[in-house]
Amino acid sequence: MYQFAILAYPGCLQSAVLGLQDVLGYAATVSDNTVTVDVVSVFEIGKHSYDAVILPPSAAEVEAKDVPELAGFIAHQHGEGALVCSACTGATFVAEAGLAQGRALTTHWGLEQRLTSRYPDVVFDTDQLLIEYGDLVTAGGLMAWIDLSLAVIERFLGYAVAARTAGYFVVDMRRRDQRRFRRFSPQMRHGDAVILKTQHLIEAQYADASNVSDIARASGLPSRTFLRRFKLATGLTPNAYLQELRIERARDLLIETDKSISEICFVVGYQDPPSFARLFARLTGLSPGAFRKHFARQRL
């Protein structure tokens, strides 16, 4: 069973709130999973835990100080393992909650200068329509809630349900198609707060994590205890988890950029391109070059 919350903060677009309800609700009807979609106002914020919390856009500028409860709520949900999602102005609350952790966010291009001034430590990449991490998804303009909803559907309910939903509403899957035939969607709602904190750290610093010992030290647990609890919580060893995450990022870079395979190898944290290529092929079934040739979108 999955539970999603649409956070209807003051000033958010009601059309987006209703649209998110409709799109996610339809996906729930064609999925084999039980899904509930709640619209939650700031006056109804409680301690209930969700699998995903979604911040819709607003047609007007928003200030986090005007809704002081919201940043704390999404930080709490993130700390409980929820996927935090924002469209357009919703990125304001993501930045306020401190969830970027050195990672790029996207928002409406017209907001970039103001948000950069307000949050100088956050990188905003408004060239991107959608930026996804294991714990965080941000989308660009006012209508990007459509892409965001499909991202949430694919993440939890699978590509087939997302494609069927897009077809029903006659909307373009855009970059959300079978190119991402294999997703790394780590388990985060396992209830182990120490391991979840470590997962968030790996998400933010995956390219710099040199070995399991460094990760274990960051957890504050004895090494053997950390290894046991990490495997129990995530289903993977820390090394396998880090490999999956790095290869997931490499897939994105192969599809979305013109960087060479060697450059991508270094960007995601590996120093030996041949070893990187072998690992990529083992986890995806294709060499990096074959993956790019088969899946990369055509550029004008």
Stretch (H or E) spanning 6: strand 2-8
The pLDDT-based confidence of 4 (bands split at 50, 70, 90) is very high
pLDDT at 183: 65
Task: Provide CB contacts within 8 A for 158, sequence distance 6+.
Answer: 31
Spell out the domain ranges in the chain.
2-176, 187-300
Alpha-carbon dihedral sign for residues 30, 35, 36, 40: negative
Q: What global pTM score does this model have? A: 0.69
Alpha-carbon dihedral sign for residues 259, 262, 263, 267: positive
- Indicate the length of the chain as a whole number: 300
What is the percent of the chain where pLDDT is above 70?
94
CA 139 – CA 268 distance, rounded (Å) = 22
pLDDT at 204: 84
What is the percent of the chain where pLDDT is above 90?
61
In this prediction, residues 81-103 reach a mean pLDDT of 95
Q: Which residue would you say has higher pLDDT here, 79 or 182?
A: 79
What is the fold, at CATH topology level, of the domain defined by 187-300? Arc Repressor Mutant, subunit A (1.10.10)
pLDDT at 128: 84
pLDDT digits (tens, 9 = 90+) for 99-137: 998 899 999 988 988 899 899 999 998 878 899 998 999
The pLDDT-based confidence of 174 (bands split at 50, 70, 90) is low
Provide the token pair at 142: 């006012």
Domain 2-176 shares a fold with domain 187-300: no
Place of tokens 């907001």: 111
pLDDT at 180: 43
Q: Identify the bridge partners of residue 180 per DSSP, sorted by sequence position.
A: none
Q: Which residue would you say has higher pLDDT here, 293 or 295?
A: 293
The pLDDT-based confidence of 17 (bands split at 50, 70, 90) is very high
CA 246 – CA 250 distance, rounded (Å) = 6
pLDDT digits (tens, 9 = 90+) for 222-270: 989 999 999 999 989 998 999 999 998 998 899 888 999 999 999 999 9
The pLDDT-based confidence of 199 (bands split at 50, 70, 90) is very high
Provide the token pair at 238: 């820390």
Instruction: Say which amino acid occupies 254.
Output: L
Provide the token pair at 129: 């329509």
In this prediction, residues 195-221 reach a mean pLDDT of 84
Q: Tell me the pairing of strands 136-139 and 130-132.
A: antiparallel
Q: Tell me the pairing of strands 123-124 and 2-8.
A: unpaired
Average pLDDT over the chain, rounded to an integer: 89
Please return the burial class of 82, using the count of CB atoms within 10 Å of its CB with bins 0-12, 13-18 and 19+: buried
Buried b / exposed e along 7-32 (16+ C-beta atoms within 10 A):
bbbebbbeebbebbbebbebbbeebe
Q: Identify the bridge partners of residue 136 per DSSP, sorted by sequence position.
A: 84
CA 139 – CA 89 distance, rounded (Å) = 9
Which range is least confidently modeled, 17-31, 180-194, 275-289? 180-194
Residues 2-176, CATH architecture: 3-Layer(aba) Sandwich (3.40)
pLDDT at 299: 41
Please return the burial class of 139, using the count of CB atoms within 10 Å of its CB with bins 0-12, 13-18 and 19+: buried
Place of tokens 């965080």: 136
CA 196 – CA 50 distance, rounded (Å) = 15
